Structure 1
Amino acid sequence: MHNIYMDNAATTFPKAPGVGAAVKNYIDNVGINVKRGTYSSAFSAGEVVLEVREMICRLFNFDNPDNVVFTMNITQSMNYLIKGILQAGDHCILSSMEHNAVMRPLSQLCSQRIEFSKVQCDRFGRLDVEDIKQHIKPNTKAVIMTHASNVCGTILPIYEIGKLCKAYNLNFIVDSAQTAGIYEIDFREMNADAVAFTGHKGLLGPQGIGGFVISNPLAKKMDSLICGGTGSASESEFQPDYLPDKFEPGTMNLPGIFGLHAALTYLMKTGIKSIRDEELRITQQFIEGILNMRGIRLAGLPGAQGRTAVVSIDFTKGDNGEVAYLLDKEYGIMTRCGLHCAPSAHKTLGTFPQGTVRFSFSHYNTIEEVKYAIDSIHKINKGL
């Protein structure tokens, strides 16, 4: 029995070629900090950090690498943005498909007189931009949206939402966890004020490195969630107010940044469209193979159009947890079962509280593996 990894929405595996070597090279041969030392190796490491900022700018069509802020992951990025923007008396708007990286910080802020409204998506996870308008209030400060669902892969109309935010003078914050590195993201065309990203999913990098790209006007309005040493303005006991230092206290995850450098190099050489086309090709094959099976309900759209390579299945004749266990134990297929840190999305899709078995593909998966997965699902489903 061979093992097949189909849980790329959680974290991609394998990583891009060269990522592990880049992390090891930093630890074994570089090892120093940046913005602290005045020796040549510190400057050389700083050049790599700057290169990664510049690569992120190219990825998101942004023009200032100083406005690329590194964090641990997209959850930390969203906490920075949400808690830095919203103040007592403010209101924001989000979709019913949001991940708990958005929902939990906002729920926590309710005790500080901060309100939010959910725009209800349909049973396929689709959002009608016109529905946002009815939730706008005089105290609405921001719209915070995921680009695509981590449960069913449905893509939200981010560019249209950005136009609406510009028309109503609302800050627009985008969670790109499921789309960065797979779909083109144009910061300007999107009318975004900030785009949060993580390195370990579609960017094919290591865990523990993420960040956000932020506009100057929004950065000036925001408070820093964490303060501390930056290696700059050390004569002051106050956090610097310039970027990226304002939001980057403490020692960076330099092994992660070196790994992300290798991942982005591969990504740009291979091409986002090439990766996306391959992922959607195998996704379509998978959906066609399971769509008409009795006792199986597909959550989300019934085809590859309008989605990412994330497919969730509800086994109506049995327990989804048992199915995921059997897929792994009997067939070596690794998936993720449950509510995927997105209970609101599952309520929207009609799969709460039982959750789903989620298959999420990468361009490293093959048609042969997809056929094997379909056959395995058929065998398990017959026994339920």
Structure 2
Amino acid sequence: MSSVIYLDHAATSWPKPDSVMEAMKTAMEEAGANPGRGSHRMAVNASRVLYQVRHRLASLFAVRNPNDIVLTPNTTAALNLAIKGYLKPGNHVIATMVEHNSVRRPLEYLKRTAGITVDYIAVNEEGDIDLKEVERSFQPNTALVVCSHSSNLLGSILPVAELGEMAVRHGAVLLVDAAQSAGMLHIDVEEMNIGMLAFPGHKGLLGPQGTGGLYVSSHVELEPQLHGGTGGQSEAPEQPDVRPDRYEAGTPNTIGFAGLQAGVEQVMEWTTEHIYRHEWELTQYMMEGLSAVNGLRMLGPKPGRPKTGIVSFVPNNIDPALLAFRLDREYGIAVRAGLHCTPLGHQASGTEITGAVRASVGIWTSRQDIDTLVDAVTKIME
């Protein structure tokens, strides 16, 4: 295994548990056929893989009907299906300034092509929103509230349950982008009034890239964004009405979803409460260490406040991209620099020109890793 100090878990968790790799190898050997496209043993085994991962995800997110979980290649595909499949011309949407481009770009596309309108709720320097401003933003035609559960730049955690209650009260649907929270924060879709939940398999759920999903409440109907073979109702010229087939055209990543099932099982064994506490303590330790480095400005929630495992910072005497490059080449430390696909978040932080360095921890990260990062940043900044 590489000796790299990996602090880019907000992009993809690494390394994966041994059980994930073993599950993928077994699936390749025993379930490497098309699920739902045959009655032979391997096809049945492939179908069983998808059935099992759907049930594990339903258990994790407190979803009553596993068939309300649509399996997708990633969170981006899930968000596009949710946004483009639900919104109609003339609808109004409430989003926030910390949304990822996977939310913003579909919304901007629909502004241009379908005449929807969008209000982006401002955040303060710690990533908090004003719920009173959200309340004032509702209009008679507000159909959707979109909320990043946790900012991929600031690590701030938004009040999903409160937004869900507000959306229901106004006759709208809450769509939650759980890219930075699935597997790290407690999520109960009914308790939080979440109408749709988009999530990745390759981050906090510890699965491989090429996996993700979208929970769609039984009360929400979407227009399919992908049309084609589903393995069932082949005589019909239209997509089937039955879930999840309606939204899962084409051959799925069965091998990847076998790995995702193992990743979810590992998360459930450790519990999201344990994972969150571990990552929170590491971010507090990192913030304490970096606060002693002259010339750094840290973004997001102040020490002691709730946040996910992200610490973003801006150096005053070196370009963030160069700092990240030197951390990799000179010290073997993997971080990410740039705008992190959230230009509005950087705009809110005043870093839309410079970008920032983002160090993000995971379940495998140690205090020694953090010490090495702080020491390396200190030396580069001297």
Structure 1-normalised TM-score?
Answer: 0.97
Letter paired with 2:129: L
Q: Distance in 2 between matches of 1:323 and 1:304?
A: 27
Q: Distance in 2 between matches of 1:41 and 1:145?
A: 40
1:250 aligns with 2:250: yes
Q: Distance in 2 between matches of 1:135 and 1:353?
A: 29
Structure 2 equivalent of residue 279 of structure 1:
279
Q: Distance in 1 between matches of 2:156 and 2:165?
A: 20
**Offset of 1:293 from its aligned partner?**
2.5
Q: Distance in 1 between matches of 2:321 and 2:250?
A: 41
Structure 1: give runs of 5+ residues left out of the alignment. none
Structure 2 equivalent of residue 359 of structure 1:
359
**Offset of 1:88 from its aligned partner?**
1.1
Q: Secondary structure at the match of 1:134?
A: helix
Contact 2:49 2:254 in 1 (8 A): no
Identity percentage of aligned residues: 37
**Offset of 1:2 from its aligned partner?**
4.2
Contact 2:229 2:249 in 1 (8 A): yes
**Offset of 1:231 from its aligned partner?**
0.8
> What is the correspondence of 1:40-119 to structure 2 with a 5 Å cutoff?
40-111=41-112, 112-119=114-121
Structure 2 equivalent of residue 218 of structure 1:
220
Contact 2:6 2:333 in 1 (8 A): yes
Q: Distance in 1 between matches of 2:325 and 2:249?
A: 42
Q: Distance in 2 between matches of 1:15 and 1:303?
A: 29
Structure 2 equivalent of residue 154 of structure 1:
156
**Offset of 1:74 from its aligned partner?**
0.4
**Offset of 1:162 from its aligned partner?**
0.7
* Regions of 4+ moved over 4 Å: none
The farther-off stretch of 43-52 and 87-96 is 43-52
Letter paired with 2:124: D
Structure 1 equivalent of residue 263 of structure 2:
263
Q: Distance in 1 between matches of 2:336 and 2:33?
A: 37
1:221-267, Cα deviation, whole Å (9 max, x unpaired): x2111111111111111111110011011111101111111111211
Contact 2:183 2:205 in 1 (8 A): yes
> What is the correspondence of 1:1-384 to structure 2 with a 5 Å cutoff?
2-111=3-112, 112-219=114-221, 222-382=222-382
Q: Distance in 1 between matches of 2:184 and 2:356?
A: 23
**Offset of 1:170 from its aligned partner?**
0.8
**Offset of 1:291 from its aligned partner?**
1.6
1:298-322, Cα deviation, whole Å (9 max, x unpaired): 0111225221010101001221111
Contact 2:280 2:308 in 1 (8 A): yes
The farther-off stretch of 86-95 and 1-10 is 1-10
**Offset of 1:268 from its aligned partner?**
1.3
**Offset of 1:351 from its aligned partner?**
1.2
1:273-327, Cα deviation, whole Å (9 max, x unpaired): 1221111111111101112422100011122522101010100122111111111
Count the aligned residue pairs. Answer: 380
Q: Distance in 2 between matches of 1:107 and 1:292?
A: 41
